[in-house]
Chain A
């Protein structure tokens, strides 16, 4: 069993977002980077599958050298080796193209990643990779078990969920509660330092460029209504906010 886990390196979800250089670059000062929260679920499930029935996990990041602490963390959590495609991850098609190129070389049974990255939230990379490789893709997957060559999954759908089965190889976009996030232990951190990390150049070219960033307009003051006159809220929502 060979599993490829694709991780993004993104600002911590509690980060305050701001921009520099005339709003053309993300201000990285004071921002802590983490493994994408959804990718972290995918990684955790891969490690569980490895513990249950053995697997070799390769972790893949499309990004520049700044992402290496997150890659080392993934190795500390339980991945066996890592590949970094050395390029700024601009758009979904471009990132998927890099992942598909690595996947074609490696013959993986499972390609796991988060349902979306928490920076651009597009949620399409897994599907594009699946199409490029000519294998099925499913997302968002909340449960994953393997029975030989068959994957038994639960996928979230609008207003509920469905159970489905399909044969490997597969590309899956993962989300909670597929597994609990894992925290690396000391031994994992020590061994991660010497696990192989291969850096390779990118292929193809980006299909989008970002011209400028902006922040939402600041919110006005909150209008407080005394609890004993709570019913007045409904009137205000009708006449003032006009949403009822």
Chain B
């Protein structure tokens, strides 16, 4: 049995989790078994049934009111108990910092091997082998995974789901929740609303020190808005507080893997590249033709970002 840990945001299954469900269903096919999705928190049955469209035969839904707010320890307890009760041998999740926190504690409870940043379907010809991205995307390793239970955290865009049109059956579960799982008190949540989630985004427009100051961000925001893209920034920009820390992309920030990453006024230090090198298409706009980022880019424009950005926005809007 394959179990997919599914993340819910605003009542809907996250796109990355739909990819994980599809990946899990492919692993299930290879192993001659079925895929079950585990959804925790508030969501409609009709929404959860969509997991079937991505290959899950069944959805187990834990909807205790104590689980409405994401709590990695409580979610991990539900995950570990579910793995035991259905006898799952492989757990699949989309890689995210919340999913990491959940699968980590579940791994501790289950004595499970955890492998992160999986980039392909496993090779089952000789044991259980997966390819993982290492050194923040600079290399890959083929890893043999042993252990009775295996937990795989997959990168974004590893599979291109083909929708089957099937509907999954949804079954409610009520796992026991110990009081000590709720030891932490969240006193304040500060979250940007109405923004496109950066780790989930297919399109990202990102700015560096070449933007010259937080007051100059409007042309970049306009392009992101026209494209329906998430916004990001380089480390110096977040260090200078020009943009919030959760937008910082790079070695010590968010690692993204969008279809398109447009870098505006970012020179392309190796630490920044580490956060974006899994992007399908990289566009670099920089007035310095010697900027190292051009060597990693698919498309480049040498020019003033403040002249180039409005032209791009205009072209996007004209093409709509």
* In-complex Cβ contact of A211 among B100, B133, B142, B246 (8 A): B142
Report chain B residues within 8 Å CB of A38.
252
Report chain A residues within 8 Å CB of B134.
119-121, 213
* In-complex Cβ contact of B100 among A120, A124, A132, A237 (8 A): A124
- Asked if B308 and A136 sit within 8 Å, CB to CB, the answer is no
Report chain B residues within 8 Å CB of A166.
183-185
* In-complex Cβ contact of A127 among B104, B203, B299, B314 (8 A): B104
Q: Which residues of chain A (195-235) have a CB below 8 Å from chain B?
A: 207-216, 219-220, 222-228, 230-231, 233-235
Q: Which residues of chain A (96-118) have a CB below 8 Å from chain B?
A: 96, 115, 118
Report chain B residues within 8 Å CB of A72.
none
* In-complex Cβ contact of A233 among B139, B153, B299 (8 A): B299
* In-complex Cβ contact of B315 among A37, A207, A220, A231 (8 A): A231
Report chain B residues within 8 Å CB of A123.
97, 100, 104, 116
Report how far A30 CA is from B67 CA in the complex, Å. 50
Report chain B residues within 8 Å CB of A136.
73, 183-184
Q: Does B87 contact A (CB under 8 A)?
A: no
Q: Nearest A residue to B126 by beta-carbon distance?
A: A211
Nearest chain A CB to B47's CB is how many angstroms away?
A: 19
Q: Does A164 contact B (CB under 8 A)?
A: yes
Nearest chain B CB to A106's CB is how many angstroms away?
A: 18
Report how far A140 CA is from B144 CA in the complex, Å. 28
Q: Does B227 contact A (CB under 8 A)?
A: yes
Report chain B residues within 8 Å CB of A139.
97, 100-101
Q: Does B288 contact A (CB under 8 A)?
A: no
- A216 with B141, Cβ < 8 A, contacts A160-B246, A167-B183 known: no
- Asked if A208 and B113 sit within 8 Å, CB to CB, the answer is yes
- Asked if B316 and A156 sit within 8 Å, CB to CB, the answer is no
Q: Nearest A residue to B131 by beta-carbon distance?
A: A214
Report chain B residues within 8 Å CB of A226.
301
Report how far A165 CA is from B116 CA in the complex, Å. 28
Stretch at the interface among A9-17, A61-69, A75-83: A9-17
* In-complex Cβ contact of A128 among B104, B141, B145 (8 A): B104
Most A C-beta atoms less than 10 A away, residue of B138, B197, B302: B138
Report how far A216 CA is from B132 CA in the complex, Å. 12
Q: Does B260 contact A (CB under 8 A)?
A: yes
- Asked if B188 and A122 sit within 8 Å, CB to CB, the answer is no
Report how far A26 CA is from B49 CA in the complex, Å. 45
Q: Does B304 contact A (CB under 8 A)?
A: yes
* In-complex Cβ contact of A230 among B101, B140, B188, B311 (8 A): B311
Most A C-beta atoms less than 10 A away, residue of B70, B109, B298: B298
Q: Does A175 contact B (CB under 8 A)?
A: yes
Number of interface residues of A (CB under 8 A): 78
Q: How large is the interface on B (under 10, 10 to 19, 20 to 34, 35 or more residues)?
A: 35 or more
- A222 with B186, Cβ < 8 A, contacts A92-B114, A159-B198, A234-B312 known: no
- Asked if A177 and B101 sit within 8 Å, CB to CB, the answer is no
Q: Does B209 contact A (CB under 8 A)?
A: no
- Asked if B101 and A237 sit within 8 Å, CB to CB, the answer is no
- Asked if B96 and A128 sit within 8 Å, CB to CB, the answer is no
- A11 with B135, Cβ < 8 A, contacts A160-B192, A210-B142 known: yes
Q: Does B172 contact A (CB under 8 A)?
A: no
Q: Does A238 contact B (CB under 8 A)?
A: yes
Report how far A229 CA is from B27 CA in the complex, Å. 47
Nearest chain A CB to B205's CB is how many angstroms away?
A: 12
Question: 5 other contacts beyond A138-B101, A166-B183, A213-B139, with CB at 8 A cut-off?
Answer: A17-B139, A210-B141, A220-B298, A222-B297, A227-B304
Which residues on A are within 8 Å of B, measured CB to CB? Answer: 11, 13-14, 17, 19, 37-38, 91-93, 96, 115, 118-132, 136-140, 142, 156-167, 175-177, 207-216, 219-220, 222-228, 230-231, 233-238, 241, 243-244
Q: Sample 13 A-B pairs with CB under 8 A, ordered by A number.
A: A14-B271, A17-B135, A93-B107, A93-B111, A118-B136, A121-B136, A131-B108, A137-B101, A138-B101, A207-B147, A215-B140, A216-B137, A238-B319
